[in-house]
Amino acid sequence: MKPLFTWAGGKNKMLKKYAPHLPKTFDRYIEPFLGAGAMFVWAYKQNPDAKFVLNDTNESIMQIYQAIKHDVNNFILYVEQLQEQYIPLTKIDRKKFYYEIRHEHAYDYESWHKTKEAATLYFLMKTGFNGIWQINKNCNNRYGTPAGLLTQKSVVFNKDNVREWHKALQRCKLMVGDYNQTLRLANNDSFVFLDPPYRGCFTQYGVDFNDTMQSEVVSYLYKAVSQGSYVLLSNRDIEDNFFIDQLKDNMTIINFDVTYTAGRRKKLDDNTFHAKKAKEILIIGNKN
């Protein structure tokens, strides 16, 4: 099983670096900022018999997971119908098709079945630009990410992977809203992974997750640790000691060198971009 879609800030590439700090055992996994769920994929493989609590404030993303959990056959059917129209097209026509579907998703969705709405968004995310989540006014304040490279050869999505997610999601409690609602479900058998939007970053939610909110997430970590949970918090280091100053008892911080290729690239004098070297942090909270 792999993440269903690319997501800016997703943790696929970080899992090897996190490996020494991941728990060997847990009976409950809680992820309050789900996104594409790369860490959930790891947790499910680690212990498929655990109980899982998955939350995100992005209702549209969670609607995709809900549709796959409860209506997977129709979800796949809708995506396949779009895929069959898209694959034979030239790249120019694919781009035109993408923007037509994006417009329909923005303005016609109220007459659609919820599964069709979720499947259409999933198709757009699979063909959109580089895992970026963008909300545009000209898209009715709905998904407005530009088209991607549009180079798919024969398929847009892996339906076997979707079915694997369907199976995994049967063990999941899916929640939409404030991440704090998941705290009451944490206990001394829980592994909690916190991956809020990076400081000063607009690529995940289209809003600024300000420092007051970042401090609240650290407070969540402290409360979860106090309840006996093992907690990891991922973010980025912008060299102002913000997270170091937030540390409390039973918290440690680790730095990782990374390269950003989307959302946080460095702009050159000629208005082109190149990958930007940076540091990410992992805060570990462990009662023991």
pLDDT-wise least confident of 3-12, 52-61, 64-73, 98-107: 3-12
Q: What are phi and psi of 263, to 5 degrees?
A: 80, -35
| Same-domain pairing of 181 and 53 | yes
Q: Is residue 35 part of a domain?
A: yes
Find the domain containing 257 and state its range.
12-57+177-286
Q: Is residue 1 part of a domain?
A: no
Query: CA-to-CA distance for 173 and 73, rounded, in angstroms?
Result: 20
| Same-domain pairing of 73 and 39 | no
| Same-domain pairing of 71 and 53 | no
Q: What are phi and psi of 262, to 5 degrees?
A: -145, 140
Give pLDDT tens digits for 52-84.
999 999 999 999 999 999 999 999 999 999 999
| Same-domain pairing of 42 and 82 | no
What is the reported pTM? Answer: 0.89
Domains held by the chain: number? 2
Q: State residue 264's pLDDT score.
A: 46
What CATH number does residue 211 fall under?
Answer: 3.40.50.150
Confidence of residue 142 (pLDDT cuts 50, 70, 90): very high
Q: State residue 263's pLDDT score.
A: 47
Q: State residue 199's pLDDT score.
A: 78
Q: State residue 277's pLDDT score.
A: 65
| Same-domain pairing of 136 and 192 | no
Average pLDDT over residues 3-27: 88
**24, pLDDT greater than 70:** yes
The last residue of one of the domains, among 160, 189, 222, is 160
Give pLDDT tens digits for 208-252.
678 888 999 999 999 999 999 999 999 887 777 888 888 888 888
Q: State residue 270's pLDDT score.
A: 56
| Same-domain pairing of 71 and 146 | yes
Q: Is residue 209 part of a domain?
A: yes
3-state SS string for 191-242: EEEECCCCCCCCCCCCCCCCHHHHHHHHHHHHHHHHCCCEEEEEEEECCCCH
**266, pLDDT greater than 70:** no
| Same-domain pairing of 182 and 275 | yes
Give pLDDT tens digits for 117-135.
999 999 999 999 988 899 9
**148, pLDDT greater than 90:** yes
Q: Is residue 62 part of a domain?
A: no
Give pLDDT tens digits for 190-199.
999 999 988 7
| Same-domain pairing of 76 and 114 | yes
The last residue of one of the domains, among 100, 129, 160, is 160
